Amino acid sequence: MRTALAVIDRDGVAGLTMRKFGAELGVDPMAVYYYLPDKGALFDAVVEAVLDEVGLPEPAPGATWQSVVWDACQRLRTVLRRHPHTVPLIGTRPVLTPRTLASSDLLIRQLVDTGLSAPEGLRILTCARAYTLGHLLVEVGVPAGPPPEANVAPAEVMAAYPALAAGMAQGYDPDGQFDLGLRALIDGLGGR
Amino acid sequence: MRTALAVIDRDGVAGLTMRKFGAELGVDPMAVYYYLPDKGALFDAVVEAVLDEVGLPEPAPGATWQSVVWDACQRLRTVLRRHPHTVPLIGTRPVLTPRTLASSDLLIRQLVDTGLSAPEGLRILTCARAYTLGHLLVEVGVPAGPPPEANVAPAEVMAAYPALAAGMAQGYDPDGQFDLGLRALIDGLGGR
DNA sequence: ACCTGAACACCGTTCAAGT
DNA sequence: ACCTGAACACCGTTCAAGT
């Protein structure tokens, strides 16, 4: 799976081919089918490898639910920025293996330890995870298929959209932008 | 593009094939290349068609920035729920055509009219859009490649993850879950 | 038990050719 | 100007066969 993930990091999801995967392993491409039923299973295995890299939250004695959620989302973001092509995969393929279930279970347990109910904890986690994945999707999202030719609108085009241009004048700081929204989301969830 | 979108709705993004697209139009598959340079351009055209369906915000005289953002996200969600397969496309392909730029520009102008600065408005929009797309991705996200075989963990498996099981006991209400997070995000952004 | 190789039904894209 | 059809270099997957 390290090999598969490396291929995706290099060539994108569409670039991970059963045939290329076999070749990369120095094996007949069809040998893969002895271990995996189909390409979906390969994707799921990659997703699990990435989630493994995210790892488990450390037990923090003085933690609040705010800090637990904040840390979990920052950890997820850090790892997914190393594997940008996998973001749509992570958001899209529900992997229900012991390791991923145990990770969610531990997070909820930590939230319950801070005083939340389990359903409250799950709802809050779901919100924060959605925001984190969505931000990553638009931030590092790699286009499906061939990329568009012009990625940035030239200045004379933007002149026709003054409000948008004024909004973009200060530049774009991905980390600051992400933190702003996560902070706001957690703050707002406090008044639940 | 209505045809292309209909094929995606029916067969998924991977199911939209240059050859099938041509056949659906009753034309030689290669005729498409007279109008579009490659498959990426076809995706971009589909994205634009979906964003057109989202349409423009109505001018609301008594609007607050909160109501403008809320309405824009709800409109986006409503349309994307009709076209679930396009969610990763929307999040991932930046389409910089006059129609989509005009739409962003109008939204920011509405936000500025409520007293925000243009950069503030853009930051808030970016947060809300990320949350909306992320929620849609995990909510309606259609797996890339063949779907996993078992989609729901059986009860006896969940017994090993009591906190998670307790969190899921009340069931999952997508609309309520989405509204909760959007409300919280907007509330939290108020303290900026 | 684990791997190979041929085969089938597909892809996106190019290019010369038709009307 | 607009469309066709053959061709090329790929895909995922099946299946019989090898060791």
Range of the domain at B53: 2-189
Neighbours of B148 (CB within 10 A): 16
Burial of residue B59 (CB within 10 Å: 0-12, 13-18, 19+) is exposed
**Which of the residues B89, B122, B136, B142 would you substitute to probe the A interface, choosing the one with the greatest number of A C-beta atoms within 10 Å?**
B122
Cβ atoms B15, B39 nearer than 8 A = no
The answer on pLDDT for B180 being more than 70 is yes
Check CB contact of A155 with chain B, cutoff 8 Å: no
> Are A144 and B43 in contact (CB < 8 Å)?
yes
Q: Residue B93: what pLDDT?
A: 87
Instruction: Give the pLDDT of residue B61.
Output: 87
Q: Does residue B22 contact residue B35 with C-beta atoms inside 8 Å? A: no
Residues of B in contact with A93 (CB under 8 A): 143-144, 148
| Residue A31, CB, strand C, below 7 Å | yes
Question: What tokens does B36 get?
Answer: 């579009």
pLDDT of res. A61: 87
Contacts with B137 from chain A: Cβ below 8 Å: 88, 91-92, 130, 133-134, 137
Residue B163: pLDDT over 90: yes
Contact between A22 and A3 (Cβ < 8 Å): no
Q: What is the pLDDT of residue A153?
A: 65
- Spatial separation of the C-alpha atoms in residues A190 and B15, rounded to whole Å: 43
Determine the distance between B36 (CA) and C16 (C1') in angstroms. Answer: 19
Comparing CA positions, the residue from A51, A126, A83 lying closest to residue B139 is A126
Alpha-carbon distance A39 to nearest alpha carbon in chain B (angstroms): 7
pLDDT at A149: 61
Question: What CATH number corresponds to the domain at position B181?
Answer: 1.10.357.10
Bases of chain C below 7 A from a protein C-beta are 2-6, 10-15
In chain A, which residues from 18 to 77 place their CB closer than 7 Å to nucleic acid strand D?
18-20, 29-30, 33, 38-40
Contacting residues of A for B192, CB less than 8 Å apart: 180, 184
- The answer to whether residue A58 neighbours chain B at the CB level (below 8 Å) is no
pLDDT band for B169, please (50, 70, 90 cuts).
very high
Give the phi and the psi of residue A15 in degrees, each rounded to 5: -85, -10
How far does the CA of A15 sit from the C1' of D12, in Å?
A: 13
| Residue pointed to by tokens 């909510």 | B139
The answer to whether residues A153 and B96 touch, using CB atoms and an 8 Å cutoff, is yes
Q: Is 70 exceeded by the pLDDT of residue B153?
A: no
**How sure is the predictor about B52, in pLDDT bands with cuts at 50, 70 and 90?**
very high
- When pLDDT is averaged across residues B75-80 and rounded to a whole number, the result is 98
| Tokens standing for residue A120 | 């409250």
Please give the pLDDT value at position B59: 83
Q: Does A171 touch chain B (CB under 8 A)?
A: no
Rg of chain B taking only CA atoms, in angstroms: 20
Show the low-confidence residues of chain A (pLDDT under 70): 141-144, 147, 149-153, 192
Please list, in sequence order, all residues whose beta carbon lies within 8 angstroms of the beta carbon of residue B56, skipping any fewer than 6 positions away: B103, B106
With tokens 């899921």, the residue in question is B168
| Length of chain B in terms of residues written | 192
Res B183 pLDDT > 70: yes
pLDDT-derived band at B80 (thresholds 50, 70, 90) equals very high
The mean per-residue pLDDT over the stretch B54-62 comes to 90
pLDDT computed for residue B141 by the predictor = 63
Q: Stretch B63-70: mean pLDDT, rounded?
A: 97
Residue B69, CA distances (Å) to A139, B114, B123, B183 in order: 20, 11, 11, 10
pTM listed for this prediction: 0.94
Question: DSSP character for A185?
Answer: H
Give A108 CA → C17 C1' in Å: 66
Which nucleotide across the nucleic acid strands is nearest to B18, CA versus C1'?
A: C12
- The CA distance from B133 to A91, in Å, is 10
Nucleotide lying nearest to A28, CA to C1' measure: C4
φ and ψ of B60, to 5 deg? -115, 115
- Residue A69 CA to residue A75 CA, distance in Å, equals 10
Q: Sign of torsion, CA B33 B37 B40 B46?
A: negative
Dmax over CA atoms of chain A, in Å, equals: 58
**Smallest Cα–Cα separation from A121: which of A137, A130, A133, A110?**
A110
Long-range pairs for A165-172 at CB < 8 Å and ≥24 separation?
A: A166/B108, A166/B118, A166/B119, A167/B108, A167/B118, A167/B119, A167/B121, A167/B122, A168/B119, A168/B122, A169/B118, A169/B119, A170/B119
Instruction: Give pLDDT, residue A156.
Output: 82
pLDDT tens digits for range B89-126: 998 888 888 889 999 999 999 999 999 999 999 999 99
Would you call B81 an interface residue with chain A, using a CB distance cutoff of 8 Å?
no
> What is the mean pLDDT of the segment spanning B3-9?
97
Give tens-digit pLDDT for A155-187.
788 899 999 999 999 999 999 999 999 999 999
Q: Given CA atoms B190, B136, B153, A43 in this order, what sign does their dihedral have? A: negative
Distance, CA of A169 to chain centre: 28
| pLDDT confidence band for B152 (50 / 70 / 90) | low
Total domains in chain B come to: 1
Q: Report in angstroms the alpha-carbon separations of B151 from A86, A120, A157, B54.
A: 20, 24, 46, 31
Average pLDDT, rounded, for chain B: 92
